[in-house]
Amino acid sequence: MEQNQDSKFESAFLPMTSIGSGMGMAVLSDVFCYTNQIVNLALVGNQHEFVLIDTGMPKSADEITDMITEHFGEEARPSAIVLTHGHFDHVGSLVALLEKWRVPVYSHELEIPYLTGKQDYPPGDPGVDSGLVAKLSPMFPNHGINIGEQVKAFPQDGSIPHMPGWKWIHTPGHTPGHVSLFREQDRALIAGDAFVTVKQESLYKVLTQTQEISGPPRYYTTDWDAAYESVKTLEALKPEIAVTGHGIPMTGEDLRENLSYLTANFKEIAMPKNSRYTN
Ligand SMILES: [Zn+2]
Ligand SMILES: [Zn+2]
């Protein structure tokens, strides 16, 4: 990790702790959603076997292990880490966590170049919105991290190791190898940043976690056609509960209505009017 990226991060980010920070929520008996500053991560499973979905912000490894200890006990460690995508707010503490646990990491094969130091994400696009988060986004680290051999591609059959009953679904657009996780049995969805339940461009709404369905965070999304297709794919699943990368989990009728509204009005709600990544 580069020194100047870190210090930039600190000045840009420490004040941006959302009111929900440090809060955990058991959304289902075996799905626990935890808010780390501005981003959500999840534990799926029980104390005997569980998987950590995404790894939060940089410098949060101790907070995450404390949270796991509190939830599953002193000896608890995940069987694997599953990544929805490799943006810095989802892999921020990955390297530090892997120093504590030698566990496999699973991601989509198209995301692996960003996790093995071969590729960087394009820089955040500050032109997409007038909000402060978008203005700050060029300062967000866009460097791919490098965890080498420890990252493996998901099995081709859609299954997810150590997560029986769950399937990964390729939902590109926000990033090339973005995935969402779905369990047919109870229609539980972990959507990553394919859509979110808080308008990420508005600092006020991020801080207060005002619930409002929104497309993928604009400043980072590079392929809006693919992002739209991905939202349609997820809407068609008719999820019963959704944990998103940012914002509070949404359920039931509220979720289905919001998702179909987002799908029907994607251009107006989700897509930026000016983006270096549209046209
Ligand atoms: Zn993202
Ligand atoms: Zn995110």
Helices 252-264 and 224-236, packing angle to 10 deg: 140
Within 88-223, residue ranges assigned H as helices are 88-91, 94-100, 112-115, 132-136, 203-208
Ligand 2 centroid to Cα of residue 264, in Å, is 23
Ligand 2 centroid to Cα of residue 193, in Å, is 5
Ligand 2 centroid to Cα of residue 208, in Å, is 17
Ligand 1 centroid to Cα of residue 68, in Å, is 23
Region of residue 8 (left: phi > 0; alpha: psi -120 to 50; beta: else): alpha
Q: What is the pLDDT along the chain (279 residues), one digit of tens a residue?
A: 333 333 333 333 333 445 455 788 899 999 999 999 889 999 999 999 999 999 999 999 999 999 999 999 999 999 999 999 999 999 999 999 999 999 999 999 999 999 999 999 887 776 666 565 555 566 667 777 899 999 999 999 999 999 999 999 999 999 999 999 999 999 999 999 999 997 665 555 555 666 778 899 887 888 999 999 999 999 999 999 999 999 889 999 989 999 999 999 998 888 887 766 654
CA separation for the pair 159, 107 (Å, rounded):
12
Contacts of 211 (CB under 8 A, 6+ apart): 197, 198, 247, 248, 250
Q: 235 near 259, Cβ under 8 Å?
A: yes
pTM of the model as a whole: 0.87
Ligand 1 centroid to Cα of residue 74, in Å, is 31
Ligand 2 centroid to Cα of residue 85, in Å, is 8
**Angle of CA points 265, 270, 273, to nearest 5°:** 105
CA separation for the pair 67, 40 (Å, rounded):
13
User: What's the Rg (C-alpha) of the chain?
Assistant: 17
CA separation for the pair 11, 233 (Å, rounded):
38
Beta bridge partners of 244: 192
Which residues, chain by chain, have CB under 5 Å from ion ligand 2? Answer: 89, 193, 245
CA separation for the pair 191, 259 (Å, rounded):
12
